[in-house]
Structure 1
Amino acid sequence: MSELHIIRVSLMRILYFLTFITLVTWWPRLFSHDGTWDPLTGVGISFYAVASILALVGIAYPIQMIPLLLIQLLYKATWVLFVGLPITSSGAESAFAEELMIANSVGVVIDLLVIPWFFVFKKYFGLPKLKP
């Protein structure tokens, strides 16, 4: 863990915890649903439920679970760009769509601030270590 400052690691743990408490609420829907699922709805709910478990792992192993934060950032940004903005610009925005747009936009900003970008680029993309 010495590769990252303790404050950064703590912020990551807080983000994993917030992700966990937000997404764990999808599990009851999986267990209590009657009938068959719409396939795409089932994918979304299953993804959120499993992401809650991975976020719980992230609290214990924040650095190893950075890919979860990257997935979280990318799906939120993708939703904002390709779903949220077109709904907003079409004027067909509902209260629920507005809520999702705000939540995902705020989530993108938080993810961008918390993810340790220099570490990510060095670890996953081979960015050489910068010398002082």
Structure 2
Amino acid sequence: MNTTEQTPLQQKPSKFSIKNIFLPDYENYEGVRRINIYVMRLFFALMFIFVATDSWTVILTHEGDWDPTRAVAWCTWAAYSTLALLGVFHTLRMLPIMLFMIFYKGLWLIVVAYPLWSAGTLKGSPAEGMAYMFSGIIIPILFMPWKYVFKKYILIETKKK
């Protein structure tokens, strides 16, 4: 055998493929599909960018006395959106933040927007813009790994020794 002959380098198969993002990933994400992780990371990033920018701007530029109720709302949004940054990097650990978002937006749509819409008064009301923005929760609802959520947060499996 001639030692100067080159053998082709064997390449490892790529982990990223369109097919793989739809399969459960037990190695990295406890059986959650990568597409779920990617979409949730996108939502965590959007939460951080938009909500944190608005809330921290209001908090840091506010002058005078605060209305306590408005202050609680702005502080809650600032805390929630800042924690969302952790969700970009630790997506599964920060699912409670995503669940909080789904819950409060869904509740608001049911309690505020639906009655206005039923009465035919949503269009043109101050709530119209928020109703359209909040209706986007359908995407996190669809991409939430519900089986994982029930297993980890609701059924809470016990560790076997």
TM norm structure 1: 0.86
- Aligned CA RMSD, in angstroms, stands at 1.8
Aligned sequence identity (%): 34
Please give the alpha-carbon distance, in whole angstroms, between the structure 1 residues aligned to 2:63 and 2:119.
34
Are 1:12 and 2:40 counterparts?
A: yes
Distance 1:29 1:87, change over 3 A: same
Counterpart of 1:113 in structure 2 is 142
Question: Alpha-carbon deviation of 1:38?
Answer: 1.7
Q: Which runs of 5+ in 1 are unaligned?
A: none
Question: Alpha-carbon deviation of 1:89?
Answer: 3.6
TM norm structure 2: 0.71
Are 1:80 and 2:109 counterparts?
A: yes
Comparing both chains, which one has the higher relative contact order based on Cα–Cα distances under 8 Å and sequence gaps of 6 or more?
A: 1
Would you tell me which structure has more helix in proportion to its own residues? 1
Q: Which has the larger radius of gyration?
A: 2
C-alpha contact 2:39 2:140 (8 A) present in aligned 1: no
User: What amino acid maps onto 1:77 in structure 2?
Assistant: G
Alignment size in residue pairs? 127
Counterpart of 1:2 in structure 2 is 29
CA offset digits 1:16-74 (Å, max 9, x no partner): 01111111121011011111222221111111111111110110100000000000000
User: What amino acid maps onto 1:37 in structure 2?
Assistant: W
Please give the alpha-carbon distance, in whole angstroms, between the structure 2 residues aligned to 1:96 and 1:21.
23
Are 1:55 and 2:84 counterparts?
A: yes
Distance 1:81 1:61, change over 3 A: same
